[in-house]
Amino acid sequence: MRGVPPKSEDDNVLQLAMQSQLKLFYRPKAIIRSSSDQPERKLTAERNAGHLTLRNPTPYYITVAWLEQTVATGSAVSARA
């Protein structure tokens, strides 16, 4: 919980409160990816009650930028990140 800083006695003061987040990627040598490795092919998708859940059983962090599913009518339903 953050508090509000006390009011300055000087009228010409601009106070900024900033919050930053950093994403840190740690890549242990034990999981160095070889050229034949394809972790994206190991993703599984499950559709339930209008929601899509992707499961990643690999030790890799995978960013999904685009998904497409062909529905029974033959048309494609796609989503972009």
The DSSP call for residue 65 is: -
> pLDDT tens digit string along 52-66?
888 999 888 888 888
- Residue 16, in any domain of the structure: no
Phi, psi of 41 (to 5 degrees): -80, -15
- Residue 29, in any domain of the structure: no
pTM of the prediction? 0.48
- Report residue 36's pLDDT band, with 50, 70 and 90 as the boundaries: confident
Contacts for 63 with CB less than 8 Å, ≥ 6 apart: 81
- Residue 14, in any domain of the structure: no
- Residue 6, in any domain of the structure: no
- Residue 57, in any domain of the structure: yes
- Residue 13, in any domain of the structure: no
Give the residue with greater pLDDT, 55 vs 71: 55
Q: Which domain holds residue 68?
A: 38-80
* CA pair distance 59, 57, nearest whole angstrom: 7
Closest-CA residue to 56 (of 39, 68, 69): 39
> How many domains in the chain?
1
